[in-house]
Structure 1
Amino acid sequence: MRVSVIGGGRITDEQAETAEGVGRELGARGHVVVCGGRGGTMAAVCRGAKAEGGTTIGILPGERRSEANDFVDVPIATGLGHARNALVPMNGDAVIALAGGHGTLSEIGFAGIYGRPVVGLGAPDLRNLDLEVTVAETPAEAVDAVEAALE
């Protein structure tokens, strides 16, 4: 399946380690990673997926495919800026939300609009909002949850 992984562009070393772990889990299980294709969370998750032989898709905000991080296999230039946030969850079967900000929150919203299961790992606690979000504690638990949601 395709799993959209969303999160911030500016992240801590610990957040990068988590994102890379999610990418490794997804790659090892044969899932395709869909992300925003640039730095931070996106680069870390792609690096992890590639380390396990996985495939990565980057949906970029700009007009140049060359803006993608070095671990993106399929860069998709949109020229849409932040409006491309709608396309990231739309192109996954499920979404794993990592730590991020306004852009990540918008992608969680679009995931709900498109009916994609959302698993939060290190993301803000969204359980008190009227959103269906499963909370995970580890990369493996996050990938288990998206797999279970699509069975």
Structure 2
Amino acid sequence: MARKTQILVIGHNDNGCTPEHEKTAYDTGAAIARSGAVLISGGLGGVMRASCRGAREAGGLTVGIIPQDAHSEANEFCDVVLPSGMGLTRDFLNALAADGIIIIGGGSGTLSEVCAAYMYRRPMVAVRGTGGVADRYGGTFVDYRENIMIGQADSPDEAVRSILEAIT
């Protein structure tokens, strides 16, 4: 049996996550589940919670890699919880666990995950119009190394299609 594709969804946590971000994340999670891929997230609130909820409600599998050391810290829509006990260092685990990454908005924590993914040349797609890191880095390279260009998509379905194409 072949390993399932693993897609990380990153973006605003509870601080800065608007109802529009939540809807985009929910729809992204649902699209990931419909594609047969596994949704990976940081396992907490905001975009992480909404994407897990969308995937779970669409019949998908969700994995939360949380910075804390207790399973109970994860959001209620994580099917599998990996408590790293690593704090922000877990951003590298998130990036390396993923075959591809979808970015919805995001602040400095999201940027940390983007940088880790960039250094390891993981394909990334930013959902346009969601602000933050997604709009700042979508369609560009993070730096002069030009490791991998961050793609852009106008909808959750397009983001999932694009990341799946980039992975294969």
Partner residue of 2:150?
133
Partner residue of 1:54?
60
Report the CA distance between 1:128 and its aligned residue: 6.3
Residue 71 of structure 1 aligns to which amino acid in structure 2?
A: F
**CA distance in 2: counterparts of 1:150 and 1:47, whole angstroms:** 24
Report the CA distance between 1:124 and its aligned residue: 2.4
- Equivalence map 1:33-72=2 (5 Å): 33-72=39-78
TM-score (norm 1): 0.96
**CA distance in 1: counterparts of 2:141 and 2:32, whole angstroms:** 28
Whether 2:145 is the aligned partner of 1:145: answer no
Report the CA distance between 1:114 and its aligned residue: 1.6
Structure 2 residue aligned with 1:7, among 8, 11, 14? 11
Helix, strand or coil for the counterpart of 2:125? strand
Helix, strand or coil for the counterpart of 2:165? helix
Counterpart contact for 2:28–2:54, Cα < 8 Å: yes
TM-score (norm 2): 0.87
**More RCO (CA 8 Å, sep 6+):** 1
Helix, strand or coil for the counterpart of 2:136? coil
**CA distance in 2: counterparts of 1:102 and 1:86, whole angstroms:** 14
Residue 100 of structure 1 aligns to which amino acid in structure 2?
A: G
List per-residue Cα deviations over 1:64-97 (Å, max 9, x = no partner): 0111101001100011111111111110100001
Q: Which runs of 4+ in 1 moved over 6 A?
A: none
Whether 2:85 is the aligned partner of 1:79: answer yes
- List runs of 5+ in structure 2 lacking aligned partners: none
Helix, strand or coil for the counterpart of 2:77? coil
**CA distance in 2: counterparts of 1:23 and 1:98, whole angstroms:** 11
